[in-house]
Amino acid sequence: MRQVGDVAGTRKAVTDIIQLCLDAGAWATLNEQIVLISKRRGQLKQAVQTMVQQTMQYIDNTPDLDSKIELIKTLNDVSAGNIYVEIERARLIKMLAKIKEEQGKIGEAADLMQEIAVETFGAMAKTEKIAFILEQVRLCLDCQDHVRAQILARKISPRVFEVDPSKEKKLKEGESIGEEAPADIPSLLELKRIYYQLMNRYYSHNNDYLEICRCYKSIYEIPSVKDDPAQWIPNIHIVSRYYSRVTLKKLGDLLCLTLQETEKHLSDMVVSKALVAKIDRPMGVVCFQTAKDSNEILNSWATNLEMQVKLVEKSCHQIHKETMVHKAALRARKFASEVEVHCYLLLLFGLPKAVSSGIYFVAGKAFPL
């Protein structure tokens, strides 16, 4: 059938062969048949594509992990180099990388994911592309490969998350350009949140606090995050780490809340013992410092006093050192001046007879000629 170009007949034959192997539970035979069908001379592309797509639906039905890995590798080898099954190969690689990660082989999982450049796949859905690249970035960050993570993250433009819903709807109503994303792929707004969380990890490694702030701001602008009261808890915790005292107005500006909302969220956290804070309403000041007992206060005073004594001793040592150096320099300059004066006198009046031995004395000091 394949020799005469019977696409429908060849598809049915391939489907029947695969189904017979699946019904019999012959997974080794299934792998052999997949390789045999793909290597037939003049095999139709549609038949190979149908075979790969049908077999992928039964990967989770394998009896054990070894059979699952072997089936994935077989399908991956068949799909390699064939553009008409490039999307299927990308999904197979993602499955295999997930298995490697569960086994603790994060480095191998990252290397597998980097073999695929989904940004060149024209038929793949946009959300699936973004999800795949974000998975590559996450694995690189888990491997502490921050340079490669930055390179991969640059493949995603932040503007891709700012899509007009009306334009997106018109695109869906037109002709279908590519395949639809699988059901397990997150929405575009969820992918935006994941993207900025990963970039937050990257910028935290580089101590780039301005970019960290921008990441948090972009996450806050997501409607699902902005409308969720539970999201304010980590924001207030972050503020409490860097401020011991802050005004309610400043805290509200940092959280983008009104004074009433800020006080309400802060009071709820204090009541639930999620945060230690005191609010001075007349002064409009919030204190995040925890109450200390007498022992802690005395210990802190003793520590501060010890540090001050060490600083005083070090300063005294430095002053004494500078004084000694200065005195030595003064003595050297004074001695040099005396020598210059006496040499001038000798040249002016001549040498005394008492110094014919080669040494003369001036003011009780001996000077060689």
Q: Which residues contact 88 (CB under 8 A, 6 or more apart)?
A: 49, 52, 53, 56, 75, 79
253-285: b (≥16 Cβ within 10 Å) or e: ebbebeeeebbebbeebeeeeebebebeeeeeb
pLDDT digits (tens, 9 = 90+) for 264-277: 888 888 888 878 88
CA distance 219 to 217: 5
CA distance 223 to 318: 61
Full-model pTM: 0.65
Rounded mean pLDDT, 338-361: 58
Task: Assess contact for 63 and 25: CB atoms under 8 A.
Answer: yes
Sign of the C-alpha dihedral, residues 247, 249, 252, 258?
A: positive
State the pairing for strand pair 365-368/245-247.
unpaired
Model confidence at 110: pLDDT above 80 = yes
With cut-offs at 50, 70 and 90, classify the pLDDT of residue 364: low
Number of C-beta neighbours around residue 19 at 10 A: 12
* pLDDT reported for residue 357: 47
Cα→Cα distances 355→288, 343, 346, 369, Å: 85, 14, 11, 9
Task: Assess contact for 143 and 107: CB atoms under 8 A.
Answer: yes
**Helix (H, G, I), strand (E, B), or coil: what is residue 179?**
coil
* pLDDT reported for residue 94: 93
Q: Which of 5, 1, 79 is nearest to 16 (CA)?
A: 1
CA distance 135 to 106: 12
Q: Which of 7, 1, 32 is nearest to 17 (CA)?
A: 32
Residue linked to tokens 């019999």: 24
pLDDT digits (tens, 9 = 90+) for 10-34: 888 889 999 999 899 899 999 999 9
Sign of the C-alpha dihedral, residues 14, 17, 22, 25?
A: negative
CA distance 217 to 209: 12
CA distance 325 to 322: 5
* Alpha helix positions (H), the chain: 7-24, 27-38, 45-56, 65-79, 86-102, 106-113, 126-142, 146-153, 165-173, 188-205, 209-220, 223-226, 232-242, 248-255, 259-271, 294-349
CA distance 274 to 248: 18
Model confidence at 283: pLDDT above 80 = yes
User: Out of 154-168, 300-314, 339-353, which region has the weakest mean confidence (pLDDT)?
Assistant: 339-353
* pLDDT reported for residue 346: 63
* pLDDT reported for residue 135: 95
Model confidence at 1: pLDDT above 70 = no
